[in-house]
Structure 1
């Protein structure tokens, strides 16, 4: 049985991804900062819960220990946790505003991925799925027909550009683990002010990669429609 951890899995796209993967028969661990909300989400879905704050080394190490002790391995890691940060132009942005977004969206991905690599390597087909965004795509933010061109999200957008490149670099240098990035697109959750398509559509790209098993590729960036322009 496939064992999957989803960070930020107690709400929004993470929750929907967890719901769908539980329905697919996977053993899903919902990772969340808030123990009460995380446990409630896990109980509702028939998943397991592990407390994890992706910005904290000790919290991440404790989550690794929990899953090692209770599951023995990890097959799929979905780095879904992310924050929007302050919406401001680069000229008005402080370093601290930028750092706060990168701490979760970028450094958190590296912190969690590296901590879980030993457990992933206990799997026959280890896979890491990083949630990125078209808001970090150079192509899409210049396309007036795309919603990505409408939002000047310097901190969030650039953090997702970094996530995509990190995914590609992991894929190039870590051939025994599959690394892929997925873009949910603008999805109607609290994160977007409930604008966009359904959470079912938002979770589709992650679900596809997470259910490919031994056929999982590496080094791809996709949304629900296919390859994402960069």
Structure 2
């Protein structure tokens, strides 16, 4: 029997991220549910487990170096490697917006999360991905 595939899905507590986690779990994969909100992450893990998914929670705030480092350590302890990273987490900066009226601070927050956060998480997970026989990174946009 081959080793189980291990994935981390960021922003997996709701929406598309949750559905991705559910779908990967249905394939028999072990899925890390990355989310910054403790209650939403815990609830998502419970729902996924009730659906038969081998899920575990990963506290993860893409904008915080310490949080991302801690997430990488947790995955290393939990699984020893990472086969698939799905960078799904993102924010809109409160929609709808008029481009001519968007506050630059809002744009900074969106870029910090949706661009720099993806780089931060990817860089932190690369050592774990390199331990996989067939690593994959999927970036949702």
- Count the aligned residue pairs: 132
1:74 alignment partner, one of 76, 82, 88: 82
1:49 corresponds in structure 2 to 57
- In the alignment, structure 2 segments of 5+ residues that lack a partner are 50-54
- Residue by residue over 1:65-95, the C-alpha shift from the partner in whole angstroms, topping out at 9 and shown as x without a partner, is 0000111000000000011114333332222
2:8 corresponds in structure 1 to 5
Query: Structure 2 CA distance, aligned partners of 1:91 and 1:34?
Result: 32
1:102 alignment partner, one of 111, 120, 141: 111
Give the structure-1-normalised TM-score: 0.56
1:91 aligns with 2:100: yes
Give the structure-2-normalised TM-score: 0.90
SS in 1 for 2:120: helix
Query: Structure 2 CA distance, aligned partners of 1:113 and 1:82?
Result: 14
Query: Structure 1 CA distance, aligned partners of 2:124 and 2:101?
Result: 35
Larger radius of gyration: 1
Matches within 5 A, 1:55-204: 55-86=63-94, 87-132=96-141
Query: Structure 2 CA distance, aligned partners of 1:18 and 1:91?
Result: 37
SS in 2 for 1:106: helix
1:27 alignment partner, one of 25, 30, 51: 30
- In the alignment, structure 1 segments of 5+ residues that lack a partner are 133-230
Moved over 4 A (4+): none
Greater shift, 123-132 or 36-45, is seen at: 36-45
Ranked by relative contact order (alpha carbons within 8 Å, sequence separation 6 or more), the top structure is 2
